[in-house]
Amino acid sequence: MKELRVILLGDLVNMDFLKSVSIKDAYEILKNFSIRTEIECISIEDAYNRVIAHDIISKEDVPYFSRSLVDGYALMAKDTYGAKETSPRFVKVIGEVKIGETTDIKISDGECVKVSTGSMIPEGADGVIMQEYTREMLDTIEITKVIHRGENICFKGDDIKNNEVVIEMGKRLDFFDMGILASLGISKIDVYKKPKVSIISTGDEIIDINEHPKPGQIRDINRFVIKGLLTREGFVVRFSGIAKDNLKEIKEKIVLAMDSDIILISGGSSKGERDYIVEALDKLEGEIIFHGINIKPGKPTILARLKDKPVFGLPGHPASCTIVALRILLPFLKKMEGEKSFLPQSAYMGILTTNVPSSLGIEEYVEITAEKRFDKIFITPIFTKSSLISTFTKAKGYIIVPEDKEGLEKDEIVEVYTF
């Protein structure tokens, strides 16, 4: 097959189509891939797990008044100094502030106001003594405990200050962020649109799941694994059909999927005479960015650009396809959605129960099980084949053998990534 034009980190170079890149270079390419992102305004009712398109800057203090954190009495903290059970201090009660009320009461030396949790703090008070450390005596209370300035009070602006950047652009919103938006009275926000994804399955051996496979045929597994993963993350996924190992069919499927923001082609990305994906992209004037990553499983992975749209060629073996979807595709989609921190992050650490052999120069991903014993987490690898999918249902995650190591040793501390 002829050489294709390949774009690597923005520079044009010549290489044959099976030239692999390291995982580090692959991530750099993902970071530098030019993407047009669109913005839409939505209600915060629908904003969970969406990526914010602008900094959220508070236009007010939260809380916007100083309030009590306990039931008790608001007073000057100095009026409690020296108080103890055997020698209480005495303070005059001059009023009460209930929840939801405003007050213009001003407290002076030797005075206090009864308050409830959430009540507005009257002017002059700088502390609240809990009710448990007081005894009522008509219009006076005995205080049996010392408090300090600021104790049991949430002051105006303690939570959020006016003009403070409370959520930065590019953050994926969680339920705490939703609470912040609600506390500021923000009902609508600008978020990045989620990319629309098209999946194309390829291969003479691939059949629909409703068909009974004949010798040499397999049902279309990858379509459902990928769609399930991306649907879980909130992406809009469409299936564009199965294309046989035929240049014309693959080209037609790709053209039909061009109304999506990104195209995923499962299968047919490994070396061989029947690999028509690269040829189809070439015929459509696409640009191959890389063909192959030095990882295991998942090496035969393609990233291309077709009329400013990213196109991924995913490995045909289910385990390989799943790992590439988790390590490469999903981070790329998060970048397309505007998320700043989109690369995979480990979930927890554990102790390896056995040696894990590997090859130098290849980053390898190994499925694992995890067991907690004696307040420690022990990690046991599952040695499997890239053509298998069932082991993922037993695995609790995976670990990484870096490309500069020939394996991992028993009792080594490893980082675990979850699915």
CA angle 269, 249, 264 (to 5 degrees): 45
How would you class 68 by CB atoms within 10 Å of its CB: exposed for 0-12, middle for 13-18, buried for 19 or more? buried
Q: Given its phi and psi angles, is residue 308 left (phi above 0), alpha (psi -120 to 50 degrees) or beta?
A: left
**Per-residue confidence (pLDDT) for residue 154, from 0 to 100:** 97
Per residue in 209-222, pLDDT tens? Answer: 999 999 999 999 99
Asked if pLDDT for residue 2 goes beyond 80, the answer is no
- Whether 18 shows a pLDDT value over 60: the answer reads no
What confidence tens digit (pLDDT) does each residue in 361-416 have? 999 999 999 999 989 999 999 988 766 788 888 999 999 999 999 999 999 999 99
CATH number belonging to the domain at 41-62+158-192, selected among 3.40.640.10, 3.90.105.10, 3.90.1170.50, 3.30.565.10: 3.90.105.10
Least reliable range by pLDDT among 6-15, 20-29, 134-143, 355-364: 6-15
If DSSP codes are grouped into helix, strand and coil, which group holds residue 363? strand
Whole-number Cα distances in Å, 58 to 43, 169, 172, 360: 18, 14, 18, 51
- What lies within 8 Å, CB to CB, of 409 at 6+ separation is 352, 355
What global pTM score does this model have? Answer: 0.83
| Second-level CATH architecture of 67-154 | Beta Complex (2.170)
Give the residue from 389, 397, 390 showing the smallest Cα distance to 368.
Answer: 397
390 or 241: whose pLDDT is higher?
241
How do residues 172-193 score in pLDDT, each as one tens digit? 999 999 999 999 999 999 999 9
Percentage of residues in the chain having pLDDT higher than 90: 87
Contact between residue 152 and residue 48 where contact means Cβ atoms under 8 Å apart: no
Query: Which structure tokens are listed for 157?
Result: 């602006």
Per-residue pLDDT at 136 exceeds 60 = yes
Average pLDDT, the chain: 92
pLDDT value of residue 389: 81
| The predicted structure's pLDDT at residue 79 | 97
Chain center to CA of 164: 24
- Report domain 348-416's class: mainly beta
pLDDT score of 386: 67
Name the E strands within 193-330: 196-202, 206-207, 218-219, 236-243, 262-266, 287-291, 295-296, 302-306, 309-314
Residue 415: per-residue pLDDT: 98
pLDDT in tens, 342-354: 999 999 999 999 9
Question: What percent of the chain shows pLDDT beyond 70?
Answer: 93
Domain 4-38+193-336: what homologous superfamily? MoaB/Mog-like domain (3.40.980.10)
Is the per-residue pLDDT at 247 higher than 50? yes
The SS3 of residue 232 is helix
CA distance 405 to 322: 23
- Same fold flag, 4-38+193-336 and 67-154: no
Domain coordinates in residue numbering, the chain: 4-38+193-336, 41-62+158-192, 67-154, 348-416
Q: Residue holding tokens 């209930």? A: 98
Q: Could you give the CA distance from residue 296 to residue 328 in angstroms, rounded to a whole number?
A: 13
Q: What's the mean pLDDT in 290-301?
A: 94
Cβ-Cβ contacts under 8 Å for 10 (sequence gap 6 or more): 32
| The pLDDT of residue 270 is above 60 | no
Q: Is a pLDDT exceeding 70 seen at residue 12? A: no
